[in-house]
Amino acid sequence: MIARIVAGEPHLFHDLIRPYERRVYAMALSFLHNEADAEDAAQDAFLKAFRNLAGFRGESQFGTWLISITLNEARSRLRRTKAAPMTSLDLDPDEPGAVSPALLRDWREIPSQALERQEVRVLLQEAIAALPENYRTVFLLRDVDELGTNEAAAVLNITVASLKVRLHRARMMLQKSLAPSLKHLNPTRRWFQWL
């Protein structure tokens, strides 16, 4: 399909990108923290991909290449809006040092129906957006976009070993920030109206 687009059927680009719209938007949103900016960044990423499609060599998958463009777009927008880059505050993401989870005695399953509630979706989005960039990108690629370990490591240009360390920490950080607040959403009274 890419060869045909480059060879003179540009309208096929519409179909090529449809499966990636949500992934690109989610990545942009997790950096920019606001829907309008995320949408702008996502549009620009798709346009850049279109303009540079002839230069796409197919060494990686199209989706992988597209998400790299999105990462660059989101990072450069963040640099423009913030005087100091956030990443300088991050610890070395691959240094030893464990993230302690939130300690609970029991866990009552939160059903997926809870996501019908706007406040629950916002809670999850904000917790992901609050992760340091090095962990957030790994988490989004692996656990939200469900890319394979090797593919995700290739997008981020890191080793598989450091990808695994970062993914583990991202998950533990989310457990730590989300488990207590999810637990306090009063499951008995409110969840069950969706069951």
Partner 1 sequence: MVIECKHVWEHISGYLDGTLDPALLAIVQLHLEHCEICSAILDSTRNILILTADDRVFELPMGFSERLHSRLDEEIRSAAG
**Residues that bind partner 1 in the complex, under the rule CB under 8 A:** 10-11, 13-14, 18, 21-22, 25-26, 29, 35, 39, 42-43, 46-47, 50-51, 98, 100-107, 109-110, 112, 114-116, 120-121, 124-125, 128, 139, 143-144, 146, 164, 167-168, 171-172, 174-175, 178-179, 182-183
State which residue, 39 or 151, has the beta carbon closest to partner 1. Answer: 39
CA quadruple 109, 115, 119, 124: dihedral sign: positive
Q: Which two tokens stand for residue 91?
A: 């610890």
| DSSP state, residue 9 | -
For the bound state, the minimum distance from the C-beta of residue 128 to partner 1, rounded and expressed in Å, comes to 7
Tell me the two tokens of residue 177: 């920030």
Nearer to partner 1 by C-beta: 55 or 84? Answer: 55
Tokens of 38: 């995320």
Closest distance between partner 1 and the C-beta of residue 193, in Å?
Answer: 17
Nearest Cα neighbor of 46 from 21, 82, 83 is 21
Question: Helix/strand/coil (H, E, C) string of 93-119?
Answer: CCCCCCCCCCCCCCCCCCCHHHHHCHH
At its nearest, how many Å lie between partner 1 and the CB of residue 101? 5
178 burial level (CB within 10 Å; 0-12, 13-18, 19+) = middle
Closest to partner 1 by CB, 14 or 79: 14
For the bound state, the minimum distance from the C-beta of residue 33 to partner 1, rounded and expressed in Å, comes to: 13
Q: In angstroms, rounded to a whole number, what is the distance separating the alpha carbons of residues 164 and 158?
A: 10
Closest CB to partner 1 among 75 and 187?
187
By beta-carbon proximity to partner 1, the closer residue of 46 and 65 is 46
| Shortest distance (Å) from residue 50 CB to partner 1 | 6
CA pair distance 73, 30, nearest whole angstrom? 13
Three-class DSSP category at 57: coil
